[in-house]
Structure 1
């Protein structure tokens, strides 16, 4: 369809934003929009956040989903472009071209991508960034430490999901209006296939004692900022799908430990109380969550919800060591929660497992929920399939398993087309897992006083919840409020719309994402960045060649990381022990190079620049070797010992054969650092510097008068008397009592 026309009154001063939720099972594109803050009418509307709503006038066109998850392209990154093409085309078709360059687009990947190796993550993000830059005009961040497209294309942490979801829930429930004393906020629970999150604002009393609180800043339309301190944490591997895999692995291991001697059948049957009765479900060999041989198994459902609750309870790992004073499960610290005053809202799997099959979405009653789950699990699988087929043929759209006529429920167990077979197969397990997470994990009481607490805050919470169509229970599952779906993507867009509001003062800090707003080094939650060394991927490649006794699961730490850091420590210790020898070697190397360059200068009579020269007009390696030299002189605790100097006194004298002036010749040499030539004249006689010649403290060559106090490296002096030999003949070297400085040549006329 063509893009909407700018002549449409709905589009006047409208801003847009696009978010792609790249989850573990699929990627969903969502288009949001809001009015420009500069055109919003005054009054009460200014004391609220920007009104973020669906980004299309057609309520069904604002969202689009594609499957599978983007993480499925880990081994085929080139498949990302055609995978994302329908989503980008959908966004381009519903956002006016004139505003697309100002429309931010975000592809934020969640738990599925977090399970990949760092190289796989980097490859997918790079291909995604390249595709979005070349195939769309939407606004993308520049490359940064967050990724090739900055914060526009990246992997978000489970904590960020929780924070964005917390913003979305309280935005829809008007939790950000009113004064700070009367403001009410709801806790947020989210459960996906791979992880589960919790985010809530502790009471003022608990905030003073709580740790690791995240400061969330938002800006109202009047420019005033609102602040909340929120605790958030995530449990990776505790989503329904990952928990199911761990459960199956533990169930098969238990079967292996208690089974009778092997039989001749090609497959083994394992009883599973978390499947509907008589459902036979084949299981592929489990390499990750089970240590049993790679044998095909058949899970046979026994349909006992009570046994399923018992067998899934150990998956919470309640006995894990707690590093702090208060932990919920798997050793994760969470501040104490006062459920008499705190109200939680759950989305995603909390809604799907309650509403789509049981028809119990909304206010949560544990007794009613467990009764519905027990009845469902105990049903025969063939009966469930029959009911599902009837529902599909009749086109039932309720999705709640009930058929109503004239306001009366006339049938149950009838589901709409959105309830797939896979959902019905795992519904018993997912229901048990949710019950255990809520009550045994988070600690929500199973019985809540219907009267509850009668404080003013609770009365206001009840009135607000009723006004928004929600009840007053401690926990309730929802999918949408009004016509807006509750999702962490909505929270991200509320934050982006809030960033566009002008602050009251120019001194106000700009709004940023919560994790980027924490003081350096204070937050224990770090953004997802591929590590410099990907130990996990190395372990994956070599795990099949290592015995199970030295695996990460057996040792409790990474053996590859241990080997790497141990080797690094050994190398550093070796270098430290060899520091004196290394320093001496470095000094000898520099001295030999200095001698070689100066020797060449003496032989050819030309000025040869030394690489160690500090002259600004010559090539110099001092900046390179200065740090090494400094390191070599500071590592050692004592300097190397030098042989004692044997001082002998010489009385050098200069002999002239005639009274005629003596012509002195010296080879042109490199200048010393003080600008003088290394060839000086002593008593009218030219002297040339030879490496090893003694010098004074000012750098000049020692004169005849000073030479007696030092030791010369050469004990012979040479004189050439041209009058005593024929032309072009040279006298032999003599040893006489008279010595001239080494390197001096006298030519007699």
Structure 2
């Protein structure tokens, strides 16, 4: 009898020992570090028409020296871009106050002093710096004075180059689409085996195109090499100053005032007064600026809704006649053939979205884009207002914008019938706006040291695996012994 009891107890004890061992493995025995709290970073995107503030956060345990960054919150600054304060530099600093006060609330108080704060100004300030370096310096000094009054770690306010703007926009798009890195279902960061997408940005004062290529980049000024998440990337990028939406509209308006009595890109029935100062003070319109004109003079201009004349007016903005490289986009700028998928955002998105959602027209090929643009330009002011009265402030300019986008993509960048469908016109990826600010923050996380983490104990991984297998083996042996005993007991009972 005692022998039978022992035969039952022994495997049960072995099974209990194995389970106990497995549970004990959950108790740490070696130094590891507890993940730290989130770190935060603030980027002010000082564009040509407005300023936006983005607050980003990321864990300090970075992946191959590049932080895993997500958008925490954002704030749109009231008023125009900081370049619009050229005659009132202190106003540029004051305009940021409301959003900076929001940042104080959005970032945990204990993180204020270690949260880096950056301001990047784009093409609007690049233009102001061309026309009046002193005014540009005064505006930057004003925003710097304001930003240093806040409890964050201010790292500087600077004017980004066109190349920076293009590359950081490309980084943002590919990061949000998880082309660099993604969080796998097994709880680890993995690198997808897929290519990157090209990025096209149409801002207020400039437009950028950036894409990865395996072709030779004949102009070194257009080549950028990047290191992100342990991978190397070689991209082509170029920024066209004065080819942003607002500057294109000014250049077209200057051309109309010089050559026509009405605006062929404005709809029939539309009329407004144009302040000459608004047209001619930009360096982008200097070639069409009259020698003598009254800054404060106004002229009344009406729309004629002529798609053919509008196309000709827009065509005059491009120069395709000369190229010192094997191939060019326009204005003698080298560009390798576009290939792969592209994402087009900012004014690209708003223009195409208007054609698709408001005009209810397809835009999936160069021909469809051209047909949709022509239909839009033939629409009267009365009919446009009936379609979308909320967009009244921008309605008259959609024909000009659509005509420009069509010629830029098809004649300029050479998106033909085969590659055009690969363009995705998007405002956001997920819940995050696409633009250069996130890419800027991703790049700058390389400069931010990780936090020290609190110490706990944990088992070495190799030892942990061996012990797991050992205890599983003990449990299996115990179960086998119980099975043998049960079989033996059944046999004896049968006898």
Query: TM-score range, shorter-chain basis?
Result: 0.7 to 0.9
Displacement of 1:496 = 2.6
Per-residue CA deviation, residues 50-106 of structure 1 (Å, 9 max, x unaligned), is: 4322214xxxxx333321111111122122232111121111111111101111111
- Cα distance in 2 between the residues matched to 1:362 and 1:20: 36
Distance 1:132 1:501, change over 3 A: closer
Q: Which residue of 2 aligns with 1:184?
A: 195
- RCO greater where, 1 or 2, for CA within 8 Å and sep 6 or more? 2
Aligned equivalent of 2:425: 477
Specify the alignment match of 1:19 in structure 2: 43
Specify whether residues 317 and 282 from structure 1 end up closer, same or farther in structure 2 by C-alpha distance, changes over 3 A only: farther
Alpha-carbon distance, 1:108 to partner = 0.7
C-alpha distance 346-423 of structure 1, shift in aligned 2 (>3 A): same
Give the paired residue count: 392
SS in 1 for 2:340: coil
Shift in CA distance, 485/106, structure 1 to aligned 2, threshold 3 Å: same
Alignment partners' CA distance in 2, 1:128 and 1:343: 38
Matches within 5 A, 1:185-224: 185-203=196-214, 205-206=215-216, 211-212=220-221, 213-218=223-228, 220=229
The verdict on how the C-alpha distance between 1:316 and 1:153 changes in structure 2, with shifts beyond 3 A counting, is same
Matched, 1:290 2:295: no
Q: Does 1:348 align with 2:350?
A: no
**2:166 is equivalent to residue 162 of structure 1:** yes
Post-superposition CA distance 1:433-466 (Å, at most 9, x none): 0001101111111x228xxxxxxxxxxxxxxxxx
State how far apart, in whole Å, the 1-side matches of 2:42 and 2:191 are. 31
Asked if the contact 1:48/1:177 (under 8 Å) is kept, the reply is no
Q: Does 1:97 align with 2:109?
A: yes
Q: 1:180 to 1:230 in 2, by over 3 A?
A: farther
Aligned to 2:379: 379
1:110/1:155 contact within 8 Å kept: yes
SS, match of residue 247 in structure 1: helix
User: What is aligned with 1:579?
Assistant: none
Say if 2:172 and 2:438, in contact at 8 Å, map to a contact too: yes
Pairing 1:118–2:133 present? yes
The separation in 2 between residues aligned to 1:373 and 1:74, in whole angstroms, is 36
- CA apart distance, 1:356: 3.9
| CA distance 1:24–1:362, change in 2 (3 Å) | farther
Deviation at 1:251, TM superposition (A): 2.2
1:163 shift after superposition? 0.6
Note the C-alpha offset of 1:49: 5.7
Structure-2 separation of matches of 1:501 and 1:169: 25
- For residue 158 of structure 2, give the secondary structure of its aligned residue in structure 1: strand
Higher helix share: 2
Corresponding residue for residue 554 of structure 1: none
Partner of residue 480, structure 2 = none
After superposition, the Cα gap between the structure-2 partners of 1:501 and 1:170, relative to the gap in structure 1 and judged at 3 Å, is farther
Q: What displacement does 1:155 show? A: 0.6
In structure 2, what is the Cα distance between the partners aligned to 1:216 and 1:250? 41
**Per-residue deviation, 1:309:** 1.7
- Structure 1: gaps spanning 5 or more residues: 1-10, 39-45, 57-61, 142-151, 256-269, 388-412, 450-471, 503-749
Indicate conservation of the 8 Å contact 2:169/2:439, yes or no: yes
The answer to whether the aligner puts 1:52 opposite 2:69 as a matched pair is yes
Query: Secondary structure at the residue paired with 1:298?
Result: strand
Deviation at 1:162, TM superposition (A): 0.3
How many angstroms apart in 1 are the aligned matches of 2:36 and 2:343? 35
CA contact (8 A) 2:355 2:372 kept: no
Structure 1 residue 362 displacement after superposition: 11
**1:140 pairs with 2:154:** yes
Match of 2:75 in 1: 63
Q: What TM-score, normalized to structure 2?
A: 0.73
SS of 1:229 mapped into structure 2: strand
1:206 counterpart SS class: coil
Partner of 2:467: none
| 2:250 is equivalent to residue 245 of structure 1 | yes
SS in 1 for 2:384: helix
SS at match of 1:160: helix
Q: Secondary structure at the match of 2:39?
A: strand
Kept in 2: contact 1:345–1:478 (CA 8 A):
yes
Q: Distance in 2 between matches of 1:371 and 1:181?
A: 38
**Whole-angstrom CA distance in 1 between matches of 2:363 and 2:255:** 33
Residue 426 of structure 1 deviates from its aligned partner by 0.4
Match of 2:303 among 297, 301, 304: 301
Find out whether 1:228 has 2:237 as its counterpart.
no
Which residues of 2 match residues 399-548 of structure 1 at below 5 A? 413-414=387-388, 417=390, 420-445=391-416, 447-448=417-418, 473-500=421-448
Using the TM superposition, name which of 175-184 and 81-90 deviates more.
175-184
Q: Distance in 2 between matches of 1:292 and 1:86?
A: 42
d(CA) in 1 for partners of 2:82, 2:298: 29
SS in 2 for 1:24: coil
Shift of 1:180: 9.8
Whether the 8 Å contact between 1:49 and 1:498 is mirrored in structure 2 is: yes
**Bigger CA radius of gyration:** 1
- Residue aligned with 1:140, SS: strand
Distance 1:22 1:79 in 2: 14
Q: Please report the RMSD computed on the Cα atoms of aligned residues, expressed in angstroms.
A: 2.8
Q: 1:436 to 1:228 in 2, by over 3 A?
A: same
Equivalents in 1 of 2:414, 2:85: separation in Å?
38
Q: Which whole-Å CA distance do the structure 2 matches of 1:284 and 1:64 have between them?
A: 27
Q: Which has the higher strand share?
A: 2
Are the counterparts in 1 of residues 118 and 157 from structure 2 also a CA contact under 8 Å?
yes
| Matched residue SS, 1:297 | strand
Distance 1:444 1:49 in 2: 33
Correspondence for 1:131? 146
Maintained 8 Å contact 1:355/1:361: no
Structure 1, residues 202-243: CA drift from partner, whole Å, max 9, x if none?
12x435x6634111122x3xxxx2211112111111112212
